[in-house]
Amino acid sequence: MTSIQDALRVICVFLAGTVIASVQSADAKSSDEAAISDGSHYSTVFAGHRNYRIFTPPSYATQTSKRYPVIYFFHGWNQRYFGSMGKGYADYDKGDQNGGDNIQNFVSKNDVIVVKVDGLNTFSIDPQNLSPYNVSTVTTFRQFPTYFKEFVRYIDSHYRTIPDREHRAVSGLSMGGFMTFWLAAKYPDMISAAGNFCGSTEFMAGPLEFPTEYAHAEMFDNVRGVSVRMHNGTRDRLRFYHQDFNRYWLNVVPQYEFQAYDASHTTCGLHDMFTFIMDAFESPLPVPSQWDHIDIYPSFEVWDYQVETNRARAGFTILENVNRDGFKVAVQNFLPDGQRMPHVSVTIKTAPIYMADQRYRITDVTDNGMTHRTSNVTSDAEGRLTIVTDGGLHHIAINGQDPLPNLCISQWTIDNMPWAETDKEIHLSIDLLNKGTADANAITGTIIPISEGLEVLQGTGTLQNLRSLSVDQLEGSLTVKNNKRGIEIAKFGLQLKDESGHQWQEEFELRLKDPVPEINDFEIADGRLVTVVQAAVESVSGIVGVGNGDGIANPGEAIVILVKDDGKYLRTNASTLHPKINADNNHIRVSDSWQEFDHIGGSSKYTQPVIASKESAGKSAWFYVEYWLPGKISGQHLIKKGKVRIDITGQDKTPPQLQWIQMSTDDRIEARVYDGAGVDKVTLTLVPNTEKSTIPHVQWDAAPETFEVELVDTGTDGDAAKGDGVFSRKIKNRPSYFFDLKVKMVDERGNSQSDDSLGTIFLKNTQ
C-alpha cells in the first residue's frame, strides 16, 4: 500500500469512527514507560466496530504471566478515545500533558492497565456528534451501559487482567464523569471503585423511546460497597452543581470522598485519584450482605438478580433491603416521591442462593400492610426463585418451611411538624410489619444515627407482640434532631430484635429542611394565564396550574405556587407532608431545563400539588418552596428557599385531568387520569382518520366506524391494577386502522372535561 493510500485510510477511519481490524501502535519511548496502543473490536451490542486506547505498564511486555487490575476511563464532551477533537480542554494521555499528571506517567510507575473507551455513539453514516455516550440528549437505541459489560468481557479475554470486581474500576472526565458514577451505580457487582473528574450530576439517559431524567444525588444507595471519589476545580463551571450533589452524598455515603483543586474543568489531581483507586484495589470494600438498587431501564441485572418489567414510560425500578429473607420493590415515575406505577408488571428472578427444587412461601404485602397475598414458589435447579408482582409498593417475604417472624418498616411519619426541620426535635412514629409466618414477641426497636450531625434524643421503642402478617406501631417517644445545616438528607438505622434472638436491620432517610423565612409575596396559579420565568432567563406566557383561575386554592385544584422575585414570577418546587395534598398517588413534578442557558445539563424543578376534594375546605397547608435564580458567575444557580401557608377555601369545580395516554403492546389503551376527588368515568372515542390511513400499496376494505370504549380502573377488563389512576381497556374485535382519540372524563362530583387533541394511534387487527 502506498503512503497516499495509508493517509486516505487513516482519514476514512477517523471520519467513520471505526477501524476495520485491531491496530496496535505502541507508544513508549523507553522500557520504563507505559506502552500506549490503539485497538478495535466488533461489538454485537452496537452492531459495529468500536475503538479504544489501552495503557499497559512496562512490566506487561516482560512478565508475561502477570495479571493486572484495570481502570476504564471515559472521556468528556468534544473528545474521543485518542484525545480531543481540535484544541482540547483537557489533554491528559502522555508526556507533559496535564502538567505531567497524566495516564501514561501513572501507569509507568504502577502495575495497572488503563483503557480509554470511545464515547462515539453515532453510526458511521451519521454526522459526528460531539456529545458522547447517548446522554444529555438521547438520540439512539444503543445503550452504553449494555456495551460496557460486553467491552469488559472483551478486554478480560484479550489482555492479562485480573477479571473480578475487586480489581476493576471506572473513571472519567465531565460527561465521562457522569458515566463513571452511572456505571458504578448500575454495576456495583462489577466495579469496586469509581473516580469522577468534574462530572455532570444530572442528564437525560436511558431508552430512546422514554429517556429518564437521571440525577446522581438520588442514587446514593446503589454504590454501597463501591469506593467513590470526586475531584473538581475551584474554577470549574460545574462546581455549583457539585455543591448540590455533595449535600446528599457527603451525608449518606460514608465511603464517598471529595477533593477540590486549584483548577478549571480538567482531570485535576489525576495521580491522587488513581492512587485512591489503587488503594481500593488493595483493600476493597466488602460485598454488602443487604443491598438497594434503583434502575432506569425496564429490565436489568444486578448482584445476580434478574429484573424484568413491561414499563413503557420513563421511570425507576426500586429495590430496597434485598437479602435472603425478601425485599421491598416499587416502580415510580420520578425520585424520591413520584407516582407509583402499579399498572407495570414486575418479574424478579433471585440469585441462586436457595435450595434447589424446594418450595418456598412467598408473601406479598401491599398498602402498608393492609392487604397481602401468599403463594408457593418452587426454586429452579440453580436455586433461583421467580417472583411476580407489579409496580406498586410491595414488601416481599421469602419464607422457608420453618415458621419464623420477618420484621421490616411498614411506614414512618413525622408527628410534630410539616417537614423535618434542622435544629428542631423531630418526633417520629414508626410502624412495623411482620411479613413472616410466625408471631414476634417482646420487640425492641432502636434508632441508630448513620449520618453526621444527627442526635437521637429518644431512640428506643417497644412492641409486646406483632402477629404474622400484621402491622403495629412501635410504642414510645421516638425523637431525633439534625444539628448540621446545609444538607438535604440524613440516614438512620433501625435495629430490631425480639425475645427469641431474631434480629433485623432496617434503614430510612429523612429529607431535611433548614429553617427558612415565611414568604408573603406569592400567588396561586390555578389555571390562570401567567407570565413566568423559563430556562433561567426566558419569559413565557401560558396557562399555569389547573383550576378555575381565580388565584385561590380550592379543593380539587392542581396549583403551582408562584414567588415574585425581582419583578418576575417563578414556579416553585413546593413540598409538604400534609395528608390532603397529593393524596391518591397524585405527585406531579415538571423539570425546567437550563441546558440552553448554562450548557451543563441540570434543571430546576417545580411541582403542581393536587388538593384533595374531601375535607379540605377551610383548612390550611404549609409548603416548603424552592426556586432557582441564575448567578453572576458562569454555571452558577442560586437556590432560594422559604415557606408558604396556603388557605384552602371554596368548592371543587375542577374536572379530572389527563396526564398521559398510550397504546400498550398487548392491545390495551392506558390513560393516566388524576383528580382531587375520585374519577367516576373515563370514555374514549376512536374516530377513523382516513388521511393518515392512506399508505402506498396498502388498501383497506373500508373505513371502520367510530366507536367508544369506557376505560376502567377496576383491575378487570384489561386494566392492570385497581385504583392506581391508570384507566385501561383491552381493545378487541376491531380492524387495523389509524384512529384519532377523544376522551371525556367525569369525577365523583359531576365535574367533566373533554379533550380531542390527543393525536392519532394505530390500532392493529385485534381478536
- Same domain? For 388 and 411 the reply is no
- Same domain? For 379 and 412 the reply is no
Q: What is the CATH number of the domain that holds 666?
A: 2.60.40
Give 30's pLDDT tier (boundaries 50, 70, 90). low
**Quick count: other Cβ atoms within 10 Å of Cβ 683?**
16
Task: Provide the residue range defining the domain that includes 576.
Answer: 522-647
Give the model confidence (pLDDT) of 413-445 as tens digits. Answer: 999 999 999 999 999 999 999 999 999 999 999
Confidence check: pLDDT of 89 > 80: no
Q: In the predicted model, what is the mean pLDDT of residues 341-358?
A: 97
pLDDT, mean over the chain: 93
For residue 336, whether the previous peptide bond is cis, meaning omega lies within 30 degrees of 0, is: yes
Give the model confidence (pLDDT) of 248-283 as tens digits. Answer: 999 999 999 999 999 999 999 999 999 999 999 999
- Lowest average pLDDT, out of 168-182, 673-687, 691-705, goes to 691-705
Q: Is 441 helix (H, G, I), strand (E, B) or coil?
A: strand
Q: What is the CATH number of the domain that holds 277?
A: 3.40.50.1820
- Same domain? For 44 and 64 the reply is yes
Residue showing cell 439517559: 205
In a domain, 5, yes or no: no
C-alpha cell at 149: 459489560
Burial class (CB in 10 A: 0-12, 13-18, 19+), 565: middle
H-type helices in 123-174, by residue range?
144-158
Q: Is 338 helix (H, G, I), strand (E, B) or coil?
A: coil
Give the model confidence (pLDDT) of 289-336 as tens digits. Answer: 999 999 999 999 999 999 999 999 999 999 999 999 999 999 999 999
Residue 497 is predicted with a pLDDT of: 97
169 and 192 Cβ atoms separated by less than 8 Å: yes
- Same domain? For 557 and 430 the reply is no
Confidence check: pLDDT of 45 > 50: yes
Residue 28 is predicted with a pLDDT of: 59
Give 564's pLDDT tier (boundaries 50, 70, 90). very high
What angle do the packed helices 175-186 and 144-158 form, to 10 degrees? 80
- Same domain? For 699 and 671 the reply is yes
What is the DSSP code string of 95-113? TTGGGG-SHHHHHHHSS-E
Residue showing cell 477511519: 13
Q: How far apart are CA 677 and CA 74, in angstroms?
A: 50
C-alpha cell at 471: 402491622
Q: In the predicted model, what is the mean pLDDT of residues 500-511?
A: 96
In Å, what is the CA distance from 316 to each residue of 329, 392, 720? 11, 12, 18
Q: How far apart are CA 305 and CA 354, in angstroms?
A: 13
- Same domain? For 489 and 594 the reply is no
Domain boundary among 383, 399, 415: 399
230 and 269 Cβ atoms separated by less than 8 Å: no
Residue 609 is predicted with a pLDDT of: 97
- Same domain? For 108 and 26 the reply is yes
668 and 761 Cβ atoms separated by less than 8 Å: no
Domain boundary among 460, 487, 513: 513
C-alpha cell at 230: 470526586
- Same domain? For 372 and 425 the reply is no
Residue showing cell 385561590: 552
Give 127's pLDDT tier (boundaries 50, 70, 90). confident
Size of the chain, expressed as the number of residues it contains? 767
Residue 367 is predicted with a pLDDT of: 78
In a domain, 8, yes or no: no
Q: How far apart are CA 105 and CA 172, in angstroms?
A: 17
- Same domain? For 177 and 50 the reply is yes
Which residues, at least 6 apart from 328, have a Cβ–Cβ distance to it below 8 Å?
318, 319, 320, 321, 393, 394, 395, 396, 408
Residue showing cell 401491599: 366
What is the DSSP code string of 271-282? HHHHHHHHHHHH
How many domains does the chain fold into? 5
Q: What is the CATH number of the domain that holds 493?
A: 2.60.40.10
In a domain, 45, yes or no: yes
- Same domain? For 569 and 677 the reply is no
pLDDT above 90 covers what percent of the chain?
85
- Same domain? For 747 and 636 the reply is no
Closest by Cα among 95, 107, 140, 93 to 34: 107
Give the model confidence (pLDDT) of 195-238 as tens digits. Answer: 999 999 999 999 999 999 999 999 999 999 999 999 999 999 99
Closest by Cα among 564, 575, 563, 578 to 623: 575
Stated pTM of the model: 0.93
Residue 686 is predicted with a pLDDT of: 95
Give 25's pLDDT tier (boundaries 50, 70, 90). low
Residue 687 is predicted with a pLDDT of: 95
Phi-psi domain of 270 (left: phi exceeds 0; alpha: psi -120 through 50; beta: other): alpha
305 and 352 Cβ atoms separated by less than 8 Å: no
